[in-house]
């Protein structure tokens, strides 16, 4: 498998600032993401989705178990080298200064630059290509902070693309976006996966986004993997009840061409 977690355990120190007194832990988590696939992480708030993304990105190190990237143990790959292969799109991005859109996207080139080296013509061309791929080239000279939420999200995806990654990790990529921008981001991610072969892992609460976009799903609850597999097999009423304590109607929608999920109520 292209990206693989084997029996991963991780705990936050409950004494760290800002963490709950009872802490949090992932326990014996194993999952695999194939090259070129589009995988979704589903689960309730606090179940460990964001922590799993940080472990995959190398931002956090597991206390037990091994993470493999393309057959290599990720712990043995230097951070700069790993950043050339794996890019992260967080839930929110708050730059320290009022950068232009182009400057934000050029930040994605940093893993490819040596110490004290500035971006050159090739880096600029890659940045403009990433802007074009995300439909944001016309915003290049705009202030990033002046953009709408949907525009900002596409610019951050462009910055990640400028890293020229093999893997793109996204944390709630459509959160707080209106319906039109949700659709735009979903179409963009599907196209990047299909046309550029980027392996994508996204954490989301939007079951219908996951149903329409993801080839495979990993269901996580309380730091453990409940199930993983093809979307059509994993996304069903029984698993949703086990995952969220919610009864839901899951059906194939002929016009959309994928499963749709309608929550009915809290499970009794």
Q: Tens digits of per-residue pLDDT, 227-262?
A: 999 999 999 999 999 999 999 999 999 998 999 999
Q: Tens digits of per-residue pLDDT, 174-220?
A: 988 888 888 999 999 999 999 999 999 999 999 999 999 999 999 99
Map residue 58 onto helix, strand or coil. coil
Query: Which among 1, 208, 177 has a CA at the least distance from the CA of 89?
Result: 177
Is the predicted pLDDT of residue 17 greater than 50, yes or no? no
Predicted local confidence at residue 113, as pLDDT: 82
Domains of the chain: 1-70+205-268 (3.40.50.300)
Question: What are the CA-CA distances from residue 16 to residues 10, 22, 24 (Å)?
Answer: 14, 11, 11
- Can you spell out the DSSP letters for 149-210? HHHHHHHHHHHHHHT--SEEEEESTTTT--HHHHHHHHHHHHHHHHHH--EEEEE-S-HHHH
What's the chain's average pLDDT?
Answer: 91
Predicted local confidence at residue 1, as pLDDT: 62
Map residue 49 onto helix, strand or coil. helix
| Distance of alpha carbon 31 from alpha carbon 4, whole angstroms | 6
| Distance of alpha carbon 19 from alpha carbon 32, whole angstroms | 29
Give 53's pLDDT tier (boundaries 50, 70, 90).
very high
Q: Tens digits of per-residue pLDDT, 156-177?
A: 999 999 999 999 999 999 988 8
| Distance of alpha carbon 128 from alpha carbon 134, whole angstroms | 10
Question: What are the CA-CA distances from residue 108 to residues 36, 159, 163 (Å)?
Answer: 21, 5, 5
């Amino acid at each position: 498998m292209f990206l693989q977690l084997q029996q991963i355990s991780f705990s936050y120190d409950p004494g760290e600032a800002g963490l709950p007194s009872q802490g949090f832990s992932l326990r014996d988590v194993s999952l695999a993401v194939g090259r070129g696939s589009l995988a979704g992480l589903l689960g309730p708030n606090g179940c460990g989705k964001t922590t799993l993304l940080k472990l995959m990105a190398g931002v956090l190190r597991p206390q037990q178990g091994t993470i493999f990237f393309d057959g290599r143990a990720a712990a043995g790959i230097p951070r700069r080298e790993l950043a050339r292969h794996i890019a992260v799109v967080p839930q929110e991005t708050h730059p320290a200064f009022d950068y232009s859109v182009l400057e934000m996207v050029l930040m994605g080139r940093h893993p490819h630059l040596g110490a004290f080296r500035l971006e050159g013509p090739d880096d600029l061309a890659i940045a403009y290509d990433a802007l074009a791929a995300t439909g944001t080239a016309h915003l290049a000279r705009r202030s990033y902070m002046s953009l709408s939420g949907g525009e900002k999200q596409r610019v951050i995806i462009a910055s990640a693309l400028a890293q020229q990654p093999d893997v793109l990790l996204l944390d709630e990529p459509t959160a707080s976006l209106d319906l039109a921008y949700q659709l735009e981001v979903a179409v963009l991610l599907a196209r990047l996966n299909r046309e550029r072969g980027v392996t994508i892992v996204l954490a989301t609460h939007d079951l219908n986004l996951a149903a329409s976009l993801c080839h495979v799903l990993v269901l996580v609850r309380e730091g453990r993997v409940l199930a993983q597999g093809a979307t059509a097999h994993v996304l069903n009423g029984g698993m949703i009840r086990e995952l969220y304590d919610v009864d839901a109607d899951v059906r194939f929608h002929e016009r959309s061409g994928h499963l749709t999920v309608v929550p009915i109520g809290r499970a009794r």
